[in-house]
Amino acid sequence: MSDTKHEKTSSQTEDLEKAGFDGEVEAAPTEYRELGSAEDKRLVRHIDLRMVPASMFIYLLCSLDRSNIGNARILNADAGHSLLQSLHMTQQQYLVALMIFFVAYTVFETPSNYMLKKLRPSRWIAFLMFSWGAMTMILGGVSNFGGLVAVRFLLGVFEAGLFPGMVYVLTFWYRPEERALRIALILASATLGGAFGGAIAYGVGKLDGAHGIEAWRYLFFMEGAPSCAGAVLVWFFFPDYPETARWLSADERARAAARLAGLASLGHQRATWAEAQRTLRDWRLYAHYLTYITISVPFSSMSLFSPTIVAGLGYEGLEAQLFTVPPYAIAFCVTVAVAYASDKYEVRSIGTAGSMLIAGACFIVEGALPAESFKVRYVFFVIALSFAFACIPPLLSWLTANLRGTGASTLAVPLNVSTGQIGQIIGVYIYKASESPKYPTGHYTNAGFLLVGAASVMGLRFMYVGRNKRLGPGEQKWRL
């Protein structure tokens, strides 16, 4: 080995030891830093097979348990057995039950991310998963408005930490240019959740009245149970940190840590108060947070009111549940495709802004079309929903790619998602029952937020381009 190669290997060893890695690093080769090598690609594939399917499945169950209240709202309404009819609730009370979830979600997101660090991802996520599954099943037994609100609040408490926690965990395993596609696959599970939710509700609706129980109660029972059962698997098998993964060889653990050196904080490192202060004082992050509000409005409204909107497009009863499946299935494909292109070509801001513009334009068209244009409105609903979901992964990946340090990663991601809950609360109120079947307020509100968001994203991009021009030699560039 030459002196130069020996110096590089020693330097890598020191980097890993400083990061807290106590495995076998003495044989760490210089190729660890050669991204795109055959060994590097094999390692990423190995990590993907363990991380991505598990994360997708967990988030799919979370999305089902969060949004199934939208299916329950209209399930068997033609027979007088829907959620609202059984509990003798008004539309305003239903909106309060939706809103209280987001209040809890906002308050508990950031504390939950710190608990994830303290207790390890597998332990904390398993606890959250079991708890929200139990709350979903309890929803099936509520008998009045007060009980529904209380349980929905607790559901928000336990679901709050999952998505920001998942995004945070990805920073332990993947480089910035690799995250958008993985975030997209996880987030796209929400679209699969919407598709499965509609199909499941269609089938469960046929159980209405069995043993004297309304179908919407069966829906909550059946969709909460898998989360409780899955929590056991998560506890024992969900990956924590590359340095402690026994399913990786010593060589792979060293390679996994080395390929992230200088780019990501390792999960077992503690966030310092100084880092937290720097994160809270970083004004550019607040531009990211405010932009996230603009995409949260359509995400919330589509997740909660898709069955209602489809019912307003000329489909009724159980058929309305079934016709929510195609939009979400298409949204899954579009979301993954946009994220893949954003990652591959390093154009996260363009992928986000472009998706916002397409979705915004489609919402405008949908609101302007005549009420009787059912088929055309359905087509634009599919496109709007697809790109409203597709703009989220590249935006989140862009944020994490421009975070530096443990404190920033631990604090900024949940703050971003927590701030977005303002948009999610707005989304609860924009689709008014009195405006059925066109819902112009809902469609135009979504369009307005998305178009403002697209302008904000391009403004952020312009700011980062300007910062990069002022960088000195060797300084780390801001990603676009």
Q: Does the pLDDT of residue 8 top 50, yes or no?
A: no
pLDDT band for 152, please (50, 70, 90 cuts). very high
State both tokens at 340. 């893949």
More confident residue, 194 or 142: 142
How far is residue 444's CA from residue 6's CA, in Å, rounded to a whole number? 63
Q: What is the pLDDT of residue 465?
A: 94
- Mean local confidence (pLDDT), 99-117: 87
Q: Does the pLDDT of residue 322 top 90, yes or no?
A: no
Q: Does the pLDDT of residue 431 top 80, yes or no?
A: yes
Q: Does the pLDDT of residue 3 top 70, yes or no?
A: no
How far is residue 58's CA from residue 163's CA, in Å, rounded to a whole number? 10
Q: What is the pLDDT of residue 34?
A: 59
pLDDT band for 320, please (50, 70, 90 cuts). confident
Burial class (CB in 10 A: 0-12, 13-18, 19+), 243: buried
472 φ/ψ sector (left φ>0, alpha ψ -120 to 50, else beta): beta
- Mean local confidence (pLDDT), 79-93: 92
CA-wise closest residue to 385 among 302, 294, 297: 302
Q: What is the pLDDT of residue 36?
A: 66
Q: Does the pLDDT of residue 32 top 80, yes or no?
A: no
Q: Does the pLDDT of residue 16 top 90, yes or no?
A: no
pLDDT band for 307, please (50, 70, 90 cuts). confident
Nearby residues of 372 by Cβ (< 8 Å), 6 or more positions away: none
Phi first, then psi, for residue 388 (nearest 5°) are -65, -35
Q: What is 38-231+274-469's CATH topology?
A: Growth Hormone; Chain: A; (1.20.1250)
Q: What is the pLDDT of residue 303?
A: 85
pLDDT in tens, 392-403: 989 988 988 888
Q: Does the pLDDT of residue 428 top 50, yes or no?
A: yes
